[in-house]
Chain A
Amino acid sequence: MASELYRSIQARVRRWTLARQTPARTQTLTQNRIFILPSRAGSVWLLLLLLMLVMAINYENNLVYALTFLLLGVFLSAMFHTYANLAGIEVKVLPSEPCFAGGQAAFELELQRHSSRQLEQLSLRLEHSELEQIVDLQQARQQVRLYSPARRRGWMSPGGVKLETTYPLGLFRAWSWLNLELKTLVYPEPLDTTLPEGAQGQAVSGEAHLSMRRGDDDFAGLERFQPGMSPRQVDWKSYARGRGLYAKHFAGHQDPDYWLDLDALGGETLERRLSRMTAWVQYLSTRDVRFGVRLGSFVLEPAEGEAHCTRALAALALYGLEGEA
């Protein structure tokens, strides 16, 4: 009953405070955003003091009175300390990494305190998430990563961020909701399937690339190792013979470009098709294969590399959604 009341108060406070704030990339925990109530341990503490007061009255014992009042003073003092453990923190949004649907979206925040006081045991969590992060803010600024389950592809805003603390005695719970401009891109959930037969065939119609490309299929000779080369390429045998570091040089086949076409995949729901394509994009880019993507009117010319992969995944994530990039 009491805990239900507590929860309803908390929910009301959350809605009210979040509605009052305009989302921003940086928010500071100011006085009118921090709420503080005795925690359950705090209520038990008060009950304990009541018992002690009864004992003091009944045994007419002034020292028990004194101890009771002292502990009541500690209770009030704890309120100030708990509040101060949250007050004045500045929360800044850092760019966040995209993730795949079905996984956990990670949001990077930077906490900064503006006094030399150490803040301890701050618990942070996102509005619709149960996962909390506990931070001891020992340096002036510290980065925190918060997770929230990513359910659907597209842009994801996890809602408010809750900062909470019961430090130093656990008698009070101070909390605050911040409306931050948290946003991350969620790629479709990859669906592990084999590449379609026809995908490569289409590449024939594309322009042919005849030049040698660097790949890892066939051994083509040795070259001097240079920083940045993969250690897998090092020719350890020759290094052992004392000839110095050499890297094996492989030549890739002259593969035709792949084309991943949404419309070519018939028979399944849109989401499933997007999921398949996501898996292929991942698969192809880990193998440094050139590919292009065709999503209805949107066409991504064949290329390779990380930037290309990101662009392809973003296109898949936002296909058919509002605010398409």
Chain B
Amino acid sequence: MKGRQISRTAVVWQLLAVMLVVLPHVQWLPLWVPALVVLAIGSRLMIHSGRWSFPHWSVKALLVIASSGGLILSFNHQAGPETMVALLVVGLALKLLEVYHRRDALVVLFVSLFVAATAFLFSESVWIAGYILLTTVLVLAALNSIQQSSSARRFRDNLKSAGRLLLPAIPFMLVLFFLFPRLEPFWSVTIDSGQAKTGLSDELSPGDVSKLAQSDELAFRATFEGEVPLPAQRYWRSLVLSEFDGRRWTRPSHEQRQVLRPEQLQPLVSAQRYEVIMEASGRPWLVALDQPLRAGQGTLMTPVRTLVMDRPLERRRQYPVESVLQYRQQPLLTRQEARHYLQLPAGGNPDSRALAQRLLTQADGNTDGVITLLQAYFNKTFVYTLEPGRLGRDSVDQFLFETREGYCEHFASATAFVLRSAGIPSRIVTGYQGGEWNPYEGYLQVRQYDAHAWVEYWQPEAGWQRLDPTAAVAPERIRTSAQDYFSTNEGFSSAGMGLGIDWLRDLRQRYDAFNYSWHRWVLNYQGQQVQLLDDWLGGEDRWRRLLAWLLPTMLVFGTVGYWLLRPRPTLPRDPMARALMRLQQRFATLESGREPAESLAMWLQRVADDWPKQRALMLRLAFLDDQQRYIERKDPHQQAEMKRLCRILMRQLPRKKR
């Protein structure tokens, strides 16, 4: 078996299969690997056409050493899936050079299938899925071609066989996909697809959020069980930043975190249940509507009531949350906590501190008064823009008194600074605000340009309260989505989101809705599985599952088996011969069948007497048949007459014996 040579058609199939499975990996593989594949395919084609001979073993050895060296250099001893795939691809390329026997071809194709599967580790889009399905058909065709004799040379036959094999496998796959229990990973793996992920960082300095606003990448999607919150209520908290060094806001240091108690939350309204599908961000923090009641499955709650995971989010993840939109949070602060939320650098930004004192005296020490005054101040002359000037050392002073242009982080940072200077405990919250409602699938999609920063300040009794200074400057930004705001306001058009054309936007929403369904039902099916099995099978015990798998499978393969083995009489192609064959079959059911040794004419003459009505026709047919058989040139008139006679006889004869 191993010694059997594969056909030339099969060689071409191998080359095609390898090329197709490597293609999705080209975008991240080091350049020399695809180059090697192209080289190998080219050389094999030269060998195929007889221009070159198979490479000498020394050449092969040299190639193996060179590419091993290349792999070590390129991947630097990393043991990730990238290294594995690169190794397999290099192996495929080298093996291609010596594909000649059936066993070589089997190795190539099996490895190809595995490499095709690894494409899903790097991309899970619908397009890749379709592409891999197509590739699978071609690999199966290639597998079929190596089983054929070495003279076979029809590509179409191989494709047909592959289709016939794959078709019954599809319902089988669907059922198994639906029922197969999803297990927990055996060991933890990380995958770096080489694309830098965008998302919120755990610190905030001027310009950070506006950078994110340039990206229209999806951040997350959310589906709501009950009513969907109004745009002005859609504050998605992600991080709380409470330490300021004069320029940057960061999360509390480790010692400070020991001081902070988990914050209490008293809901004032009933909770809102929803589900978030967060895209991979490469960071552990999640989002939740202001404020989450408790951590859902697989998530943790920080003391400041934000949700995190125990490891960075390397894959899209779905999690349920419950939030309340009206609440009282942490009505009492310890002295240490209050000190933490009032912390400011020793010096710097003197004008802003002075402003704080001025506002405080103007408002008679009333917190609400300070806030109102500050917002009025912003409202007067400040400009909300994505492209503020660069800020220097005393960034808050510069923003408040010189440039007076900024994006949400500038306003939030300045507000928190002023509040702290005025002795009001406050902190920065980053996350997302708003989102676009997709009417086709009914979910909220939040993109990176919805990233936002706002402030929370604390008052005795009332606890922590949200304050969004951006709302004072650009209230439309909060009421409508970021996209609408950007597209209708000049100065934001550079963000490349000028989707003013309605139908284009509609198309985009439809496409996104489709992607959402794909994510929800295919990529994140495990989230739905338990519920779905409950609904469909009325429980998910093992026997029900087995039965639910067995019945459709048996049905599908029973059909396939019947289809393959059903009796298919070999009727002749020639219509004349076919008509005569049918006539004989009919007579056979009437127990006047033709004997093996009889000629058609002899038989007709023998049985003609049993059928007095048809006798004349039968004798005529017998005569004509003899004429036709022994005449040198066929007479088309006679043939037509014979066909007509057959037809008439078929009509007159009973179908069954009386």
In the bound complex, residues from chain B placing their C-beta under 8 Å from that of A168 are 144, 147, 161, 165
Q: Is B106 engaged at the interface, CB distance under 8 Å to the other chain?
A: yes
B169 is contacted by which of A44, A60, A70, A121 (Cβ under 8 Å)? A70
Cβ A73 vs Cβ B170 within 8 A: yes
Q: Is A87 engaged at the interface, CB distance under 8 Å to the other chain?
A: yes
Cβ B522 vs Cβ A63 within 8 A: yes
A72 is contacted by which of B118, B165, B172 (Cβ under 8 Å)? B172
Contact with B along A24-65 (1 / 0, CB 8 A): 000000000000000001001100100110110111111111
One of B181-189, B382-390, B456-464, B638-646 at the interface: B181-189
Q: Is B14 engaged at the interface, CB distance under 8 Å to the other chain?
A: no
Interface size on A, residues (CB 8 A): 50
Q: Is B52 engaged at the interface, CB distance under 8 Å to the other chain?
A: no
In the bound complex, residues from chain B placing their C-beta under 8 Å from that of A114 are 567, 569-570
Q: Known: A48-B113, A66-B177, A169-B143. Contact between A60 and B182, CB under 8 A?
A: yes
Q: Is A15 engaged at the interface, CB distance under 8 Å to the other chain?
A: no
Cβ B183 vs Cβ A57 within 8 A: yes
Contact with A along B89-127 (1 / 0, CB 8 A): 000000000000010001000100110111011001000
Contact with B along A106-139 (1 / 0, CB 8 A): 0000000111110011000000000000101000
Majority DSSP secondary structure for residues of A touching B: helix
Q: Known: A55-B118, A69-B173. Contact between A170 and B557, CB under 8 A?
A: no
Cβ B560 vs Cβ A77 within 8 A: yes
In Å, the complex CA distance between A11 and B603 comes to: 50
Q: Is A259 engaged at the interface, CB distance under 8 Å to the other chain?
A: no
Cβ A116 vs Cβ B177 within 8 A: no
Cβ A116 vs Cβ B165 within 8 A: no
Output the nearest chain B residue to A55 by Cβ-Cβ distance: B117
Which residues of chain B from 263 to 286 have a CB within 8 Å of any chain A CB?
A: none
In the bound complex, residues from chain B placing their C-beta under 8 Å from that of A67 are 116-117, 120, 132, 136
In Å, the complex CA distance between A140 and B570 comes to: 8
In the bound complex, residues from chain A placing their C-beta under 8 Å from that of B168 are 73, 76-77, 80
Q: Known: A48-B113, A70-B169, A80-B564. Contact between A167 and B147, CB under 8 A?
A: yes
Which residues of chain B from 530 to 576 have a CB within 8 Å of any chain A CB?
A: 553, 557, 560-561, 564-571
Which residues of chain B from 605 to 625 have a CB within 8 Å of any chain A CB?
A: none
Contact with A along B364-397 (1 / 0, CB 8 A): 0000000000000000000000000000000000
In the bound complex, residues from chain B placing their C-beta under 8 Å from that of A103 are none
Cβ A76 vs Cβ B136 within 8 A: no
Contact with A along B174-216 (1 / 0, CB 8 A): 0011001011111101010000000000000000000000000
Q: Is A74 engaged at the interface, CB distance under 8 Å to the other chain?
A: yes
Q: Known: A76-B172, A76-B557. Contact between A64 and B189, CB under 8 A?
A: no
In Å, the complex CA distance between A65 and B178 comes to: 10
In Å, the complex CA distance between A168 and B177 comes to: 26
Q: Known: A69-B180, A77-B168. Contact between A169 and B173, CB under 8 A?
A: no
B165 is contacted by which of A51, A55, A74, A88 (Cβ under 8 Å)? A74
Q: Is B494 engaged at the interface, CB distance under 8 Å to the other chain?
A: no
In the bound complex, residues from chain A placing their C-beta under 8 Å from that of B124 are 61-63
Cβ A84 vs Cβ B567 within 8 A: no
Majority DSSP secondary structure for residues of B touching A: helix
Cβ A76 vs Cβ B186 within 8 A: no
Q: Within the complex, what minimum Cβ distance (angstroms) separates B353 from chain A?
A: 51
Cβ A61 vs Cβ B169 within 8 A: no
Cβ A115 vs Cβ B567 within 8 A: yes
Contact with B along A64-96 (1 / 0, CB 8 A): 111111111110111011011001100000000
In Å, the complex CA distance between A282 and B278 comes to: 91
Q: Is A184 engaged at the interface, CB distance under 8 Å to the other chain?
A: no
Q: Within the complex, what minimum Cβ distance (angstroms) separates A264 from chain B?
A: 50
Output the nearest chain A residue to B164 by Cβ-Cβ distance: A81
Cβ B169 vs Cβ A74 within 8 A: yes
Q: Within the complex, what minimum Cβ distance (angstroms) separates A110 from chain B?
A: 15
Output the nearest chain B residue to A135 by Cβ-Cβ distance: B149
Contact with A along B467-489 (1 / 0, CB 8 A): 00000000000000000000000
Cβ A169 vs Cβ B149 within 8 A: no
Cβ B121 vs Cβ A74 within 8 A: no
In Å, the complex CA distance between A166 and B616 comes to: 54
Q: Known: A71-B113, A168-B161. Contact between A57 and B186, CB under 8 A?
A: yes
Cβ B114 vs Cβ A62 within 8 A: no
In Å, the complex CA distance between A45 and B107 comes to: 10
In Å, the complex CA distance between A58 and B118 comes to: 12
In the bound complex, residues from chain A placing their C-beta under 8 Å from that of B183 are 57
Q: Is B22 engaged at the interface, CB distance under 8 Å to the other chain?
A: no
Cβ B177 vs Cβ A80 within 8 A: no
Q: Is B166 engaged at the interface, CB distance under 8 Å to the other chain?
A: yes
In Å, the complex CA distance between A38 and B33 comes to: 35
Chain B residues within CB distance 8 Å of chain A: 81, 102, 106, 110, 113-114, 116-118, 120-121, 124, 128-129, 132-133, 136, 140, 143-144, 146-149, 161, 164-173, 176-177, 180, 182-187, 189, 191, 315, 522-526, 553, 557, 560-561, 564-571
Known: A48-B113, A72-B169; 4 extra A-B contacts, CB below 8 A, are A59-B189, A64-B121, A65-B180, A80-B168
Ordered by A's residue number, 11 sampled pairs between the chains whose C-beta atoms are within 8 Å are: A48-B110, A61-B120, A64-B117, A66-B129, A67-B136, A77-B168, A84-B564, A116-B568, A117-B564, A168-B165, A170-B147
Closest A-B pairs by Cβ, 10 of them: A73-B169, A73-B172, A84-B564, A115-B568, A63-B120, A69-B176, A69-B173, A70-B173, A74-B169, A58-B185
